[in-house]
Structure 1
Amino acid sequence: MTGTANRSVERAFRIVDELAENGGGRVSELADRLEMPVSTVHNYLQALVETGYVTVEDKEYSTTTRFLEVGHRQRHRLEVFQAVSDELQDIAAETGEHVTLLVEESDQCVIVAVQEGPDAVNLFAYPGARMPLHAAAPGKAILAHMPEDRVQGIIDRQGLVEMTNRTITDPDALFEQLAEIREQGYAIDEGERIAGMVCISAPVLDKSDEIRGAICVCGPQSRIDEKRRDEIADIVKRSANVTQVNLDYV
């Protein structure tokens, strides 16, 4: 692909990201925010409208559900999503909390599926939502089962961004905790990504011990005391094991 084509694709996705981030926008607004000529933005938007990925009404442009269709197709291709079966629903019923399945993609932790128990706090979590690997229990569960040089590469590219005052931002401290996670079989974050929330996650490995994702339960700190943390850790480890077994049959 030529440099011009690369720039064209990059510009198109910058416009799409801006529309998604702000819920839509007019040509002049997008041009100002993206620091592009109005005519350039208009041409890209027209092309995106023709493909069906963007729609326009009263000169207001917004993304369409075509992206949702693409995402759902890709999600159903993921073996770990197929293998998790009814596990998330069972965990949500058993714990009453917020349950997710996450995978690593492009150095980030991505939510693949969400199930809310009857007592779940609304975390505005949805399939496709992304977060730093180092700042979330599922991300740390995934990192703990990657080769050390790959983890270091992610740190070099992404950094260790501080999400709250409890986020691990020191590489040595992170590597030390990853070793503990491998030993105990689950990861925990206490307000490292969202203040006041406790998240407990177990890695999903395949028969070759390759990391495929992580199952996570999140709830308010006031509800998840030390005893309950142990109970939830047992639940997510059990479900991760069931999912691992199911992977053999996908």
Structure 2
Amino acid sequence: MRALEGRATGIPHTATERQDSVMSDGGNQAERPASTGVDRTLTVLERLVMAEDDLTLTALAKITRIPLATCASIVYTLEHRGYATRRIVGRSHFWRPTLRLYSLASQLVRKVDLSQIATAEMRALGEEIGMPVHIGVLDGASVVYVAKAATPGFIQFDTYPGKVAPFDLTALGRAISAHLPEDELAVLLPHLRQGQGPRAREAGPEAFKALLSEVRADGYAIEEEEEQAEISCAAAPFFDAGGRVAGAVGVTGFARDFAGDKRAVAAAGVVRLGAVISRRLGYRAESLPSELVGP
């Protein structure tokens, strides 16, 4: 990654308008009215999806802590709408979700544009740390850059949407690889390449797997003058609704930009942004600190 030179007042008047204004402006969560019915329905649906086996109504009510009559009303409605079905054995009814959810999710995935999913946050991070910010996804044994945010004042690097780079020689690729299933990682290991930078590491599979263990422990990846001299980058993964790694978000700069506290700031920034993107892709994880999860 070489560097290149270079109403008229808007004030709501009625009670309804004021409430709509609060909702549309991202008002305080405490000010937003909560729907117990919607919350319970989603809880039932999530439990059905996560369950290893079909559930009886009694078991479902117990694990969701929802009154039996209410739980029954919810699952019968889900059945009527095609989101749940039941298997009858004697006097027992066993419930499970249908693939209608998958159909909805598939339509949503086709509409997701990673280049637009966190544009404002990418730009804000770039301005904060003085480096361009990128999103990359894995394509075979390569990382493809799908988005970039940089202000005109930055020295521009030849990182651009559509750029392809070796998966193992970029922080983006390492952040993704660290969270791949073992069988998928095994397919990539024969394609390791030797970096040309002064701090290039050994390109062997065992050394690379040890590096990925560090990435998982840290929560982010760093590449410092390994692919080429004077250039370094930091990246963190993001995950989809199914919990699979979907890509990574990273920053690129001169090696001197990663010295001292700047490295920690850059790492914290990409981890925070990775959590924001994960949240918007539907990923939920209790382990994510609330301060790292975006709107």
- Match in the other structure for 1:98: 132
Q: Is the 8 A contact 1:204 1:212 kept in 2?
A: yes
Task: Give the structure 1 partner of residue 38 of structure 2.
Answer: none
Q: Please give the alpha-carbon distance, in whole angstroms, between the structure 2 residues aligned to 1:166 and 1:152.
A: 25
Please tell me whether residue 108 in structure 1 is matched to residue 142 in structure 2: yes
Aligned residue number for residue 254 of structure 2: 220
Q: Offset at 1:117?
A: 3.8
- My pick for the range that moved more, 180-189 or 76-85, is 76-85
> Is the 8 Å Cα contact of residues 189 and 199 (structure 1) preserved in structure 2?
yes
Hey, what's the Cα distance between the residues in 2 that align with 1:117 and 1:95? 11
The residue that corresponds to 1:166 in the other structure is 199
Instruction: Determine which of 240, 246, 269 is the counterpart of 1:206.
Output: 240
Instruction: Work out the CA distance in 2 between the residues paired with 1:123 and 1:144.
Output: 25
What are the Cα deviations for residues 213-233 of structure 1, in whole angstroms up to 9, with x where unaligned?
111111111222131111111
Alignment of 1:166-185 (within 5 A): 166-168=199-201, 169-185=203-219
Q: Which runs of 5+ in 2 are unaligned?
A: 1-109, 284-295
In the other structure, the counterpart of 1:197 is 231
Query: Tell me, what secondary structure is at the counterpart of 1:80?
Result: coil
In structure 2, the CA distance between the partners of 1:116 and 1:81, relative to structure 1 (3 Å rule), is closer
> Which structure features the higher share of helix residues?
1
184, 191, 204: which one aligns with 1:150: 184
Q: Is the 8 A contact 2:192 2:205 kept in 1?
A: no
Q: Does 1:247 align with 2:281?
A: yes
Structure-2 separation of matches of 1:226 and 1:147: 34
Structure 1 position 119, deviation (Å): 5.2
**TM (normalized to structure 2)?**
0.54
Name the count of aligned residue pairs.
Answer: 173
Indicate the RMSD between aligned Cα atoms, in angstroms.
Answer: 2.0
Amino acid at match of 1:159: L
Structure number, greater radius of gyration: 2
Report the Cα offset of residue 190 of structure 1.
Answer: 0.2
Match of 1:83 among 112, 117, 127: 117
Contact 1:114 1:127 in 2 (8 A): yes
CA contact (8 A) 1:141 1:181 kept: yes
Structure 1 residue 86: Cα displacement: 1.9
Question: Distance between the aligned counterparts of 1:105 and 1:88, measured in 2?
Answer: 22
Query: In 2, Cα distance between the equivalents of 1:136 and 1:171?
Result: 16
8 Å contact 1:97–1:119 — kept in the other structure?
no
Note the C-alpha offset of 1:153. 0.9
Distance of aligned partners of 1:162 and 1:194 in 2 relative to their CA distance in 1, 3 Å threshold: closer
TM-score by length of 1: 0.64
Q: Which has the higher contact order (CA 8 A, sep 6+)?
A: 1
Instruction: Check conservation: 2:236, 2:248, Cα contact below 8 A.
Output: yes
The percentage of aligned residue pairs carrying the same residue is: 29
Conservation of the 8 A alpha-carbon contact between 2:119 and 2:149: no
Q: CA deviation at 1:165?
A: 4.2
> Greater CA deviation, 147-156 or 108-117?
147-156
- Give structure 1 stretches of 5+ with no counterpart: 1-75
